[in-house]
Amino acid sequence: MMDKLKVQEIKNIIDKLEEKEYLKYIDMMSKDNRESVKKLALGLSKKLDKSRIETERLIKLFEIEEHFIEKGNTLIGGIDEAGRGPLAGPVVAACVVLEKNPMIKKINDSKKISEKVREELFEEIKNNSISYGIGIADNNEIDSLNIYGATMLAMRRAIEMCDIKPDFILIDGNQAIKEISLPQKTVIQGDARCSSIACASILAKVTRDSLMKEYAKIYKVYGFEKHKGYGTLEHVDAIRKFGVTPIHRMSFLGKILEQN
């Protein structure tokens, strides 16, 4: 069959294959006398290996959830935040309750994947979750409560925003959420070790970045679309030159303002 097809025709076929068909076509192409077709077989074989490695990673990434599912918890919510460190803008938290290991390829700690991949995963995560919620604490709340208190507030709001509430939560880091009755477990480096927390980190990061891009349209000289409010040299120079905006965290700016 394959020997009657042109190389480009074969390439068009394998580009549309489902993974379950890879082995069949790898076998057929490997027997073809044409070196160009053998190279296509090799490429498809590498693609299959890469996919299998990703599948194994995703299975391992769900082990923590699996452990608590076996203990009788059915709705496990992963929680993470974005924006503790910036000089401007809100802190954003997300809570994601996943289906039983939905195997969403490429999910990882949001800091380890590109902005393009995060944005692609944003909708996929929402579409593959049982429920999700996003909570925001603005710069005024950060100044009033301090960043720790505001982060806890954003996390509680994220849980409240879930249409279907979790019955157990996993939190990135080592700080439990205060003032909630839900059973919870902190997970050090959870955004790299736990599927639901990784998903939450992506929702939180994409949401916050989108907000900062909108602020960049209002406060045009600060470069929020680039540094997202973090204390880069460009940002600090803009504060010294143009002053503060209504979204700056005054409690973070003491030393910078003293140097003016």
Give the long-range contacts of residues 102-106, CB within 8 A, separation 24 or more: 102/128, 102/129, 103/55, 103/58, 103/59, 104/58, 104/128, 104/195, 104/199, 105/54, 105/58, 106/54
Distance of CA 238 to the CA centre of its chain: 29
Q: Is 3 annotated for ligand binding?
A: no
244 CB-contact burial (10 Å; exposed 0-12 / middle 13-18 / buried 19+)? middle
Q: Which region holds residue 106: left if phi is over 0, alpha if psi is between -120 and 50, else beta?
A: left
Sheet strands side by side (includes 129-137): 129-137, 91-98, 76-82, 168-172, 184-187
Q: Is 81 annotated for ligand binding?
A: yes
Token pair for residue 58?
């995703």
Q: What is the CA radius of gyration of the chain?
A: 23
**Farthest-apart Cα atoms in the chain, separation:** 77
Q: Is 32 annotated for ligand binding?
A: no
Count CB atoms within 10 A of the CB of residue 131: 18
Could you list the residues known to form a binding site for a divalent metal cation, using ranges. Answer: 80-81, 172
Residue numbers belonging to the annotated binding site: 80-81, 172
